[in-house]
Structure 1
């Protein structure tokens, strides 16, 4: 494993541990969040252990881990100096490390149906959506580590909205999605190609599926095709797909990026 890959894994691991400690310290105990199998259309199987009680909604989380491992192993490409390749690999590997962490966190929520696990699942969703914004800005502005950190901290801080209103998380997530799509379109216009445009379109459709299928989980269960493989399950399939298409989009932009101005290289 390359040094930048180890650094990316370490940064994500440390941040995830800090978030976990914050959640289990009770900082977000006042947040309203739905827990319990009744909030899922997939019926739990009593004969299975807790970590497989909802087998399809549980096992889909393996896909996040496989996706993260796949992209960690992929080579990063960028025009110019070796340092540009190092930075491109770091950006890619942070995103891949987020996928590696997110799968087990979601599985923990499904398996335990505990408030702390549900809060952690929600909270870690936000910086994942924020990272493509940071990645796009790094293509525009050059390498600014403090900007990357500021974006992630702002994203994590936005979860405080959930303490102020029962739908605070949904507001924060909606703002993240709008920011991602808007910044992706802007960056695509500057550095994109037909290939990146296809990835952006498919990623946006996957994001739409992720939101709609999850919201319509119980409604869709009235239809036979969604009674075993439920809307929530397919929303997670869409989530994995939007992750993958985001990787394709951003790595394609890396290869099409022009070299940053000298003043922007630190």
Structure 2
């Protein structure tokens, strides 16, 4: 997602969150432009209110036709703003604070932008917005894995860029098979959880173990509740606040627990290699 990583400031400077947001916004615009070119016109996506268990309310404006599934996207935006503003000193990273803040701010910017994208999909029910919603999901899942790699390998912007480009490219599987997106997303989840476990074994504590467990449980809830959206309506608790709604609640929580896990690891990023020091 952060395609303009090569323009990062030198190691003795602290970037503002606006730079991270700009990088994410520019990458999102490139994705939108690619979709507008028609490259993904043949991708199978579910479009239409019939694919959601929540019944649309005809008396409401179209951008609130499914009020619960629409308004939950505000939670992504509030979470993004919260973590963008949370720039207090992180004691585990005394010498690499600006780098951790950049990693954090990119992830927070992803949450901030993803909320309106999902809302737009719910509102318009068009093929292009559904594709954008799916596509942006992949680099969001990839970023925690890239963050973990930065802890192991040091500050390597090109590695972050390669991970995100590989993640974006994996959406090409959706062109090959109707379930290509699900395969790509499943691979992302397995890879990120594996990388997080590896990172926890090296740098974790009882606190990060708790955050990791809660994050994995939230991810499981995100997947299962979304897949079982219609089936869950036979139970009263899921007839108004549906499985799809609760899956988005779990998604917000997995975002939050990922932040807590990554910012509470007992390590610091490796310093720049000597040849990069100015």
TM-score higher than 0.5? yes
**Hey, what does 1:115 align to over in structure 2?**
127
Distance across 1 between alignment mates of 2:270 and 2:103 = 16
**Hey, what does 1:50 align to over in structure 2?**
62
Q: How many residues align?
A: 261
**Kept after mapping to 2: 8 A contact 1:143/1:264:** no
Distance across 2 between alignment mates of 1:87 and 1:261 = 10
Distance across 1 between alignment mates of 2:175 and 2:267 = 40
**Hey, what does 2:93 align to over in structure 1?**
79
- Out of 244, 247, 250, the position equivalent to 2:262 is 250
**Hey, what does 1:147 align to over in structure 2?**
159
Give the TM-score taking structure 1 as reference length.
Answer: 0.95
**Hey, what does 1:15 align to over in structure 2?**
27
Q: Shift of the alpha carbon at 1:4?
A: 3.3
SS in 1 for 2:240: coil
Distance across 2 between alignment mates of 1:259 and 1:217 = 41
Greater shift after overlay, 256-265 or 105-114? 256-265
- Out of 253, 270, 274, the position equivalent to 1:260 is 270
Q: Shift of the alpha carbon at 1:263?
A: 3.6
How big is the alpha-carbon RMSD for the aligned residues of Structure 1 and Structure 2? 1.4
**Hey, what does 1:196 align to over in structure 2?**
208
Q: Shift of the alpha carbon at 1:264?
A: 7.4
- Residues 70-92 of structure 1 show CA distances to partners (whole Å, capped at 9, x for unaligned) of 000112524342xx111000000
Greater shift after overlay, 136-145 or 23-32? 23-32
Matched, 1:68 2:80: yes
Q: Shift of the alpha carbon at 1:261?
A: 6.0
Distance across 1 between alignment mates of 2:275 and 2:53 = 51
- Structure 1 stretches of 4+ moved >3 Å: 261-266
Which runs of structure 2 are paired with 1:83-162 in the superposition (5 Å)? 84-162=96-174
SS in 2 for 1:32: coil
**Kept after mapping to 2: 8 A contact 1:80/1:259:** no
**Kept after mapping to 2: 8 A contact 1:142/1:265:** no
Matched, 1:233 2:245: yes
Distance across 2 between alignment mates of 1:184 and 1:191 = 10
SS in 1 for 2:175: helix
Structure (1/2) with the larger helix percentage: 1
